[in-house]
Amino acid sequence: MPYSDREHGFWTGYFTSRVSLKGFVRDLGRYINTIRTHLGLLKLSNSSQVVNDNLDKLEYSIWQVEMAMGILQHHDAVSGTAKQKVTQNYFMTGATAKLKLDGFYSKVLKEQLANSLNETVQEFVFPHWNGTYEEWGISKVLATNKTILLSIYNPGPKGIYTVRVRVTNQELALRTAANNSQLAGEILCVNKDAKDCELVFNLAFEETSYSYVKLTASKSGSAKVINTKTILATETTKSWNVSNTANLQFLHSKLSFVLSFSNGSVVYPFSVSYHYYESYQGTGQKSGAYIFRPSVLTIAGPRKYSTIKNVSYAEGSIYLVVVLEGDLTYTKLFFNKMPSYLETYGFETSTFVDSINIDDKQGKEIVMQVASDLTNNRTFFTDSNGLEEQKRIINFRPTWPFVTDEFASSNYYPVNSHVTIKDITSARRLTVMVDRSEGGTSLQEGCIELMVHRRTVYDDERGVFEPMNETDADGKGMRQYIRHFIVFGDQYRRTQKRNDQPLLVVWSNSSTASFGQGWQPSAAAIHVNEDVKLFLRPLKSENEYLLRLHNFNTQKPVHSRVNVDLSSLT
């Protein structure tokens, strides 16, 4: 609920403040949940001697990250309302704990690899999803004609998943451990740096299981480089068949899209754009770490922030990627081409937000708008801690008559997982999933607005005693990579689940370019369906665990039952 303690003083800025820390906390939470559950399953199935022989180390490694997460959940930590030096210490606390768990988990992965494939490697490298190809380090090894082994863990249900790995623009040969067979892939060079590319390939996983892939540099490899092609201004319309049931059109004059399903029976026009509110800096309440208050020039609505100067695309058999290159933002729209993927999981937007310039001494609060033709009657829905949805109505409070002179900030709400609008004349629904906590609203009909970054030059006098002015090492405003997942229809909870349980990809050097023996993943210790989210925490005692299950199926009645078979545990 937007809270105000005085005139113009709505505490809705901290929903977005310190976007980098918010992203770090969410990523660390996903990481500890995945590894904690995986180690619990290994202990439960008696599948790891490293785990069985080191229960004290296992407990301590997990506990350290849990303690760091506890500190990061402090009301002045993840909220983004601590001083800059304290915030940097929060980062160090989380990163130090993660490194120690990485070390223990790497030993477990090496043991599992030796048991599965009779192969020995050195330490595994744990890259971050938004690292560059240089930070991932894979291409540097491949350039020396050595082989890379990818160990990929799927914490979710059985299915086909798309794996993404940062490499440079060189062709590669891929082999999968399943029957030592060649694997098709694509190298998408869609970033600002043409050398910074993504290797993508589809891989079948059993439930809560590993898979292994080897990479070698090869001019005749199974993964070819795909570069972007510019959509010329003379091309008024560009159309792609993303799958047998989904078609995408780009309308150049409007810089917008039309996504249609089932031969055009369901159509969603939409656009993605970036705008900004000027931070209020006059007499009285200023905008800062806690408070979001637009200036009088933008109180009625934000101004255009980033002008799209070039539109391009790269299309292969796995992904269609459309790139919107702005002067201050760089956005990639990833459309997965698996059958029925778009209808179920939607598509990803990955946005690079460049430094927010305050040379004019003016603070700015950047928002992403996803506009559609839906009529939502000033009503939208936000999640409550990722679970139950709360109905929100513009300029309305359910228990008292509400009057406001801050149209934007008084209608901003915290978005931990997603924000949704529903068309009142049809069954159409638009949901935007976030990769970290953000502030969000729907101030215009059919439009979802999320604040993705902010930089102010004044303190709001609520206790931080410094502006919200984060900078990178070069002294310029902090740059940020941010992801959103845009889903059309009512199956967005499956996207949320996949977002919460991403594939864990680590790598190491390998002494051979192929797999020496056949391999099949082992059966899961606990079987759950795609709508159930599994958390398993091994406890220090040999036979004690903490089990938690979330039912994510919101399409069925509230009291519907999901059965989970635990008979294999007895």
Residues 543-563: pLDDT tens digits? 888 999 888 877 766 656 777
Tell me: the pLDDT tens digits for 335-369?
999 999 999 999 999 999 999 999 999 999 999 99
Please state the rounded mean pLDDT for residues 320-329: 98
Rounded to the nearest angstrom, the gap between the alpha carbon of residue 473 and the centroid of all alpha carbons in its chain is 25
Q: Is the pLDDT assigned to residue 424 strictly greater than 90?
A: yes
The CB density around residue 371, as the number of other CB atoms within 10 Å, is 18
**Residue 545: Cβ within 10 Å count:** 15
Between these two residues, 39 and 527, which has the higher pLDDT value? Answer: 39
Residue 354 carries which DSSP code?
A: P
3-state secondary structure of 122: coil
Question: Which residues on neighbouring strands pair with residue 350, listed in sequence order?
Answer: 332, 483
The one-letter code for the residue type at 236 is T
Tens digits of per-residue pLDDT, 42-83?
998 899 999 999 999 999 999 999 999 999 999 999 999 999
Specify the pLDDT at position 300.
86
Q: For position 257, what pLDDT does the model report? A: 97
Quick check: 532 pLDDT over 90?
Answer: no
What confidence tens digit (pLDDT) does each residue in 442-464 have?
999 999 999 999 999 999 999 99
* Beta-bridge partners for 536: 547
The stretches of 45-163 forming alpha helices (DSSP H) are: 49-53, 55-72, 84-117, 133-136, 138-142
Burial class for 295, CB neighbours closer than 10 Å (0-12, 13-18, 19+):
middle
State the Cα angle at 276 between 271 and 279, rounded to 5°.
160
Q: How far does Cα 255 stand from its chain's mean position?
A: 24
Q: Please indicate, yes or no, whether the overall pTM of this predicted structure exceeds 0.85.
A: yes
Q: How confident is the model at residue 271 (pLDDT cuts 50, 70, 90)?
A: very high
Confidence class of residue 516 from pLDDT cuts 50, 70 and 90?
confident
Distances (CA, A) of 508 to 120, 127, 468: 10, 11, 40
Residue 16 has pLDDT above 90, yes or no: yes
Work out the pLDDT band at 423, boundaries 50, 70, 90: very high
Q: Tell me the per-residue pLDDT of 100-136, one tens digit each, with 9 for 90 and over.
A: 999 999 999 999 999 988 899 989 999 998 899 999 9
Note the pLDDT of residue 566: 74
DSSP state of 200: E
Beta bridge mates, 294? 279
How far is 485 from 79, CA to CA, in rounded Å?
22
Q: Nearest 5°: CA angle at 322, between 259 and 353?
A: 115
The runs of H, that is alpha helices, within 168-210 are none
Select from 473, 438, 312, 336 the least CA-distant residue to 14.
Answer: 438
Average pLDDT of the chain, as a whole number: 93
User: Tens digits of per-residue pLDDT, 366-385?
Assistant: 999 999 999 999 999 999 88
What is the average pLDDT across 517-529? Answer: 74
Closest CA to 35 of 22, 51, 19: 51
**pLDDT tens, position by position, 208-256:** 998 999 999 998 889 999 999 999 989 999 999 999 999 999 999 999 9
SS3 53: helix
How many Cα atoms occupy the beta-carbon half-sphere of 434 within 13 Å?
30
65-70's contacts with Cβ under 8 Å and 24+ in sequence apart are 65/28, 65/31, 65/32, 65/94, 65/97, 65/98, 65/100, 65/101, 66/32, 67/97, 68/28, 68/93, 68/94, 68/96, 68/97, 68/98, 69/25, 69/28, 69/29, 69/32, 69/94
Reply yes or no on whether the pLDDT at 570 is more than 60. Answer: no
- Helical spans, DSSP H, in 45-81: 49-53, 55-72
Using alpha carbons, select from 102, 191, 210, 202 the residue that is nearest to residue 149. Answer: 210
- Alpha carbon distances (Å) from 211 to 154, 304, 521: 8, 45, 7
CA dist 507 and 153 (Å) reads: 11
Distance CA 444, CA 7 (A): 24
Name the pairing type of β-strands 266-278 and 256-261: antiparallel
Q: What are the φ and ψ backbone dihedral angles of 27, each rounded to 5 degrees?
A: -65, -40
- What pLDDT is recorded for position 559? 57
Terminal-residue alpha carbon distance, the chain: 46
DSSP label of 563: -
Average pLDDT over residues 493-506: 93
Bridge-based pairing of strands 429-434 and 418-422 is antiparallel
Do 382 and 440 contact (CB within 8 A), yes or no?
yes
Length of the chain: 570
Helix (H) or strand (E) holding 27: helix 19-44
